[in-house]
Amino acid sequence: MPSDPSGTHPGGVLVRPAADFFDDNMGLAMVQQVNLSFPPGDSAFYQVGLFNNAIAGLAFKVYGISVTEDGGGGFLCAFVKAQVGATPGVVSGIRPDISGPFGLIGFDVTIQHVPSLSPFVDGTEFGLIGSSGFDSNTVLSPFPMFVIPVGWSLVLRNPEPTFAMGASFWYQQANE
């Protein structure tokens, strides 16, 4: 590839990850919940969603997801055309000197007193972000793993009971 040390007249193609180009619009959405107060044998099921509350024309491109839970098995992925659950907070930018991007993070939890399947899993799930038992997993990608349009949520749901869960979404706010 021809080069121009001054950078004023590049003579070739420069390939860099998209997230590096748009770091001013990167966001981190995170939620963690631990329920130790319910009796042994009860089952806790969660769903956590990253909601795109941006103005028209801005999509969220998800480049990374971290998940943790006590039982392993991971989280099923689904899209929902609404905000999911309560909103414990807005998202954070990765730079403290500029305001954070659009986005809301919400979650629901339900406790089942008899062994059951998750009431959140409804058959619309299309993928799995794995989490090994009593540990966490982070999946990062050089290209968007998910693209969330305005008014939609990317939702993670645990199909197996767990008393603790956490999820983080690393995403970029970008023009559609």
Domain membership flag for residue 14: no
Domain membership flag for residue 8: no
Q: Which domain holds residue 63?
A: 19-175
Domain membership flag for residue 138: yes
CB 165 within 8 A of CB 73: no
Q: How many domains does the chain have?
A: 1
Burial (CB count within 10 angstroms: exposed 0-12, middle 13-18, buried 19+), residue 141: middle
**Residue 113: pLDDT band by 50, 70, 90 thresholds?**
confident
114-172 pLDDT per residue, tens: 667 777 888 788 888 877 666 677 888 888 899 999 999 999 988 887 777 888 888 88
Domain membership flag for residue 42: yes
Domain membership flag for residue 3: no
Domain membership flag for residue 94: yes
13-25 pLDDT per residue, tens: 656 655 555 565 6
